[in-house]
Amino acid sequence: MEEIKERKREIRSSVAKSLESLSKKELAEKIKRVEDRLFEFANFMEAKVPLLYTAYSSEVPSHGILRRCFTYKKIVVLPSFDKEKRRMKFMKIDNLETDLKPGPRGNFEPNPEKCKVVPIERIDIAIVPGIAFDEKGARLGIGEGYYDRLIPKLPGTSRKVALALEFQIVPQVPMQSHDKHVDIIITDERIIYKI
């Protein structure tokens, strides 16, 4: 168990260093390629109610994706985190400037005073954040377990799609019994379907 935790720490550190080594221009180009692939992905384009995220630390930034979703008239849903109960609720946002507030995890999340709750059953596709992935769909997040608890609760028809830069794909993500997989990973170079 301790060996798995140490390996996860090493992967998180390695990804953070790789991100830091990129120039702003290189990073922006890679992120744009991920965004473009996502908006060419039929499952995403057909989805009316995508669950998205606001990026935390070494996750692929999502601000551009959120903006583009509004132009495609999607119902944009973001998670709101309850640290005490270790749960998420899902809220519809209509405006990136006025509907978000700083959350307990350090990233932005929906302001419950301005946003309405969306039942999980309404989510057509879930864009799941992560720091590293392998080609079998194993995912390494920031270590709080929110998405590992969410994935089994999503409707069976909802695809679980991760976004990553190619260097975030590692040979093997060490998994524990509570860790969950994604179905598809979209990188700046390819689309990986879970083997």
For residue range 173-194, what is the model confidence (pLDDT) as tens digits?
Answer: 999 888 899 999 999 999 999 8
Q: Which two tokens stand for residue 112?
A: 């419950």
Each domain of the chain, given as residue ranges in start order, spans 2-190
87 or 169, higher pLDDT: 169
pLDDT at 145 over 90: no
CA 156 from centroid of its chain's CA atoms? 18
- Tokens 């601000």 belong to residue: 63
pLDDT at 106 over 80: no
Coil vs helix vs strand at 9: helix
- 93 phi, psi to nearest 5 deg: -115, 145
Second CATH level (architecture) for the domain 2-190: 3-Layer(aba) Sandwich (3.40)
- Using CA atoms in the order 144, 147, 152, 154, what is the torsion angle rounded to 10 degrees? 150
Q: What is the pLDDT of residues 29-71, one digit of tens each?
A: 999 999 999 999 999 999 999 999 998 879 999 999 999 999 9
Between strands 50-51 and 125-128, the pairing is: parallel
Q: What is the pLDDT of residues 121-133, one digit of tens each?
A: 999 999 999 999 9
- State pTM to two decimals: 0.94
- 100 phi, psi to nearest 5 deg: -110, 155
How far is 101 from 96, CA to CA, in rounded Å? 10
